[in-house]
Structure 1
Amino acid sequence: MHRKWWNLIRIRTIETGAEPGGGEPPQPEPPQSDPQANTGGEGDEKLGEHGMTALKNERRANKSLREQLAAANARIKEFEDRDKTDAEKASERIASLEKSNTGNAAKALRYEVAVDKQLPKALAERLQGSTREELEADADSLLKLVNVQNKPNVKPDPSQGKGGDPKPHSLSEAISAYYK
């Protein structure tokens, strides 16, 4: 754990440009309402106060850079589209809609096969194949695996539960049945 802490300090000093071992230790910042910073990963609580501050700062910077990248990509797309004719723009739009339609049709077919084969909904996305027959074959093999895992390993005990002899209605019948 000491080594992990030292690596965090080294990363922090490299980011800020400060010399290791010199200057003041980084001061924790007040918590911000950054939704990504609040969703900690597994083991985040082990980082300590300074580690959590550094992690939140990294996540904030990452989010900012992703937003800048999306804006830059949109700007590039705008420059590329500037010189295109209306027919080229329409053909690109049609191509993207056809691709989306194909994906949606494949997803609908997977769910349809899953419903037909009574496969759990959570496993429908795992079906593989391009035709209905391939999807059905994959669903059958997946069902075999699911049924094997769900099959109980305990055999019923025949001595428990309702037996073959009728239950006596009175004490005298019970006594006579016992002495037979």
Structure 2
Amino acid sequence: MSNDPNPTPDPTPDPDPAQDPAPAAEDPTDWKAEARKWEGLAKKHKSAAERLQELEDKDKTEAQRLTEDRDSHKTRADQAEGELMRLRVGLAKGLTEAQARRLVGSTKEELEADADDLLATFGGKSDDKPAPSRRPTEHLRGGGDPEEDPEVDLRKIADQIPRR
């Protein structure tokens, strides 16, 4: 950068924001063809990746393979136990299965606290009233057959009204 006290202005003027910019040139790339090309390469190299994994596994000792198997099974067991604990706490608190799956915590106490917070925030099932259904119930009263045209005796109706 020069220390010129009178720098010369940039010869290219700034674009005027009021003017529309020139339309961009259309992208000539055929994206479907590109996707097919990369998908084909992935399929081609998948067998090579599997072969590499086999070679790496061959060099491992039996103890290493057993350790890896044990670790993967332990991880799956921990995940299943966590899911079971969430479902049990949710069931005990009256949550639905979908709500119970969203509980957060690693201990039973943390899950129970989260379930209580969920119930306090969104409300839960109350023992004294039924759970709301998705469809409103209709409170209809019987009327009669609209095809029938009963004769109405207004004097009988008036006699049924209690007087003070």
TM-score class normalised by the smaller sequence: 0.5 to 0.7
Q: Which has the larger radius of gyration?
A: 2
Q: Tell me how far apart the structure 1 counterparts of residues 88 and 42 of structure 2 sit (CA, whole Å).
A: 37
What is the CA-CA distance between 1:58 and the residue it aligns to? 6.0
2:29 equivalent in structure 1: 11
Higher helix share: 1
1:138 equivalent in structure 2: 114
The runs of 5 or more residues in structure 2 that have no matched partner are 1-22, 125-130, 133-138, 141-155
1:75 equivalent in structure 2: 51
What is the CA-CA distance between 1:74 and the residue it aligns to? 2.5
**2:123 equivalent to 1:147:** yes
The runs of 5 or more residues in structure 1 that have no matched partner are 13-53, 152-159, 162-169
**2:160 equivalent to 1:174:** yes
**2:68 equivalent to 1:89:** no
What is the CA-CA distance between 1:134 and the residue it aligns to? 0.3
Other structure's SS at 1:102 match: helix
Q: Where has structure 1 moved over 3 Å in runs of 4 or more?
A: 57-73, 170-174
Q: Tell me how far apart the structure 2 counterparts of residues 134 and 107 of structure 1 sit (CA, whole Å).
A: 14
Q: Using a 3 Å threshold, how does the CA distance of structure 1 residues 108 and 60 change in structure 2: closer, same or farther? A: farther
Q: Using a 3 Å threshold, how does the CA distance of structure 1 residues 90 and 136 change in structure 2: closer, same or farther? A: same
What is the CA-CA distance between 1:126 and the residue it aligns to? 1.3
Q: Using a 3 Å threshold, how does the CA distance of structure 1 residues 101 and 67 change in structure 2: closer, same or farther? A: farther
Q: TM-score, normalised by structure 2?
A: 0.54
What is the CA-CA distance between 1:144 and the residue it aligns to? 2.3
**2:89 equivalent to 1:116:** no
Aligned residues: 116
What is the CA-CA distance between 1:69 and the residue it aligns to? 5.7
How many percent identity over aligned positions? 32
What is the CA-CA distance between 1:128 and the residue it aligns to? 0.6
What is the CA-CA distance between 1:121 and the residue it aligns to? 1.3
RMSD: 3.5
Q: TM-score, normalised by structure 1?
A: 0.50
